[in-house]
Amino acid sequence: MELTNVGVIKSILGRHGFSFTKSLGQNFLTNPSVAPKMAKEGGAGPGMAVLEIGPGLGVLTKELAKAADQVLAVELDKKLEPVLKETLGDFDNVEVVYGDILKLDLEKLINEKFANKDFVVCANLPYYITSPIIMLLLESSLPFKSLTLMVQREAADRICAPVGSRQAGALTVAVAYYAKAVKLFNVSRGSFLPQPKVDSCVIRLDLLEKPAIEVEDEAGFFRMVRAAFGQRRKTALNAISAGLDLPKEQVAEALKRAELAPNIRAEKLDMEQLGRLFKNLQI
Where do contacts with ligand SAM occur on this chain (CB under 6 A)?
24-29, 53-57, 59-60, 74-77, 100-102, 124, 126, 129
**CB-nearer residue toward ligand SAM: 23 or 282:** 23
Rounded to a whole number of angstroms, the minimum distance from the CB of residue 171 to ligand SAM is 18
Which uninterrupted H or E stretch holds 28?
Answer: strand 28-29
DSSP 37-75: HHHHHTT--TT-EEEEE--TTSHHHHHHHHHSSEEEEEE
Distance, CA of 120 to CA of 4 (rounded, Å): 24
**CB-nearer residue toward ligand SAM: 56 or 169:** 56
Report how far Cα 82 is from the mean position of its chain's Cα atoms: 27
**Phi, psi angle pair for 181, to nearest 5°:** -100, 130
**CB-nearer residue toward ligand SAM: 42 or 164:** 42
Under DSSP, the state recorded for 222 is H
- Helix and strand tally (H, E) in the chain? 12, 9
53: closest CA among 32, 30, 25, 79? 25
Rounded to a whole number of angstroms, the minimum distance from the CB of residue 57 to ligand SAM is 6
Question: Which residue type, as a one-letter code, is found at position 34?
Answer: V
Rounded to a whole number of angstroms, the minimum distance from the CB of residue 62 to ligand SAM is 10
**CB-nearer residue toward ligand SAM: 79 or 180:** 79
Rounded to a whole number of angstroms, the minimum distance from the CB of residue 35 to ligand SAM is 7
Question: Which residue minimizes CB distance to ligand SAM?
Answer: 54
**CB-nearer residue toward ligand SAM: 28 or 229:** 28
Which uninterrupted H or E stretch holds 50?
Answer: strand 49-53
SS3 state at 21: coil
- For the CA atoms of the chain, what is the radius of gyration? 21
Rounded to a whole number of angstroms, the minimum distance from the CB of residue 123 to ligand SAM is 7
**CB-nearer residue toward ligand SAM: 125 or 161:** 125
Rounded to a whole number of angstroms, the minimum distance from the CB of residue 88 to ligand SAM is 12
